[in-house]
Amino acid sequence: MPDVRPDELGSVVNRLRRAQGQLGGVLKMIEEGRDCRDVITQLAAVSKAVDRAGFAVIAASLRECMSSPEEHTGIEDLEKLFLSLA
């Protein structure tokens, strides 16, 4: 399986940092006793951001495999990872 290349994943890091901030906001909302709907809405946003980050990592790995298939034999592993996000 290909290694994750940091130079290709800057947007993923940014997305995860935003999700980290959102999650901190969710914790604060819970501690403050905010409305359930507001908490769930923010949790859904965090979940979607994390899922998209995972898909972006897998997409980058697939691009790497396709650019040099002779070096990578982990397509089946990538498929399993992809399905684990579903």
Q: Which domains does the chain have, with CATH numbers?
A: 6-85 (1.20.58.1000)
SS (H, E, C) 5-62: CHHHCHHHHHHHHHHHHHHHHHHHHHHCCCCHHHHHHHHHHHHHHHHHHHHHHHHHHH
Is the model's pLDDT at 1 over the cut of 60?
A: no
Q: What percentage of residues in the chain have a pLDDT greater than 70? A: 84
pLDDT digits (tens, 9 = 90+) for 37-77: 999 999 999 999 999 998 888 888 777 777 766 665 567 77
- Name which of 80, 33, 78 is nearest 57 in CA terms: 78
